[in-house]
Amino acid sequence: LMVNTQAVLKRAQHVQGQKTPKKQWQAAWLLKAVTCIDLTTLAGDDTPSNIHRLCLKAIQPVRYDLLKKMDMHDKGITTAAVCVYPSRVADAIKLLNAANSSLPVASVATGFPTGQTPLETRLQEVHMAVADGATEIDIVINRMLVLTGQWEALYDEICQFRQACSDAHMKTILAIGELGTFTNVYKASMVAMMAGSDFIKTSTGKEVVNATYPVAIVMMRAIRNYFLCTGHKVGFKPAGGIRTAQESLVWLTLIKEELGNDWLCPHLFRLGASSLLADIERQIYHYVTGQYAAYHELPMP
């Protein structure tokens, strides 16, 4: 199997050149994007208090008065999940329980972001995150196995992570910026899905190259082919460097065109992001008021 690079790049260029919706249609698409965000903090200086703020923002991602003016205040708009390091899962669960919210907590595990720790340690990390209450686990693959063509070993490792996740949803991060070729991305996508991934995800956000449209097209084609072969729908999550409302509209368009409307929901599409929500809220503020807000007017709680 070889991926046709030129065709992929041409398709990506076409998608980026398309017109995006305006006015109330844009506002509706942006609210859809909000419901698909995994609101994420993966910083070395994470503390219980900024996890607390992140969770509150996830529960009420757009200011209530703005939603009220759009008659969307009672539609239960939240982000899809919050995503944190394993050692911060308990903090997030505690706050969400106190706020009476059933928002899922996702945790990165398996030696994130490089996956370069012993397999036993990586598995233990998954077990601990699940034990603390994470219902979604974002694992990273061992890139070395892809780069050296050890596909069966990659399959076996991901199967073990799948088992360790138990009932939690497993999102498999391919770290596409470190896989070398589109063909490797396609093969790694297929192996990850065959090993039981609920989602495949582009990046950790820590690589030099993160979510790009050409790579996303390759991954989406793999998802589509896997669905045609098995009847099983696997989700897609771009992550890393997605910062503007405009970009979120391109991602939604790409999903709609490549995979269809079934994938346009948090069950099968997530946006991994930390700063994207601020720009979306700013655009919604502009739609409602006709003015642009300063960022300090739409702060994290």
Identity of the residue numbered 89: V
Identity of the residue numbered 41: T
Q: What is the spatial distance between Cα 261 and Cα 117, in angstroms, rounded to a whole number?
A: 39
Helix (H) or strand (E) holding 252: helix 245-258
Catalytic site residue from 19, 68, 201, 256: 201
Q: What is the spatial distance between Cα 195 and Cα 154, in angstroms, rounded to a whole number?
A: 9
Question: Residue 37 half-sphere exposure, CB side, CA atoms within 13 Å?
Answer: 37
Tell me if residue 187 is catalytic: no
**CB-CB contact of 230 with 201 (8 Å):** no
DSSP letters for 62-89: S-HHHHHHTT-TTS----SEEEE-GGGH
Q: What is the spatial distance between Cα 198 and Cα 233, in angstroms, rounded to a whole number?
A: 8
> In which residue are the tokens 């582009």 written?
202
CB contact set of 262 (below 8 Å; sequence gap of 6+): 233, 268
**CB-CB contact of 140 with 115 (8 Å):** yes
Catalytic site residue from 57, 171, 187, 237: 237
Q: What is the largest CA-CA distance in the chain?
A: 56
Tell me if residue 237 is catalytic: yes
Task: Name the residues annotated as catalytic.
Answer: 201, 237
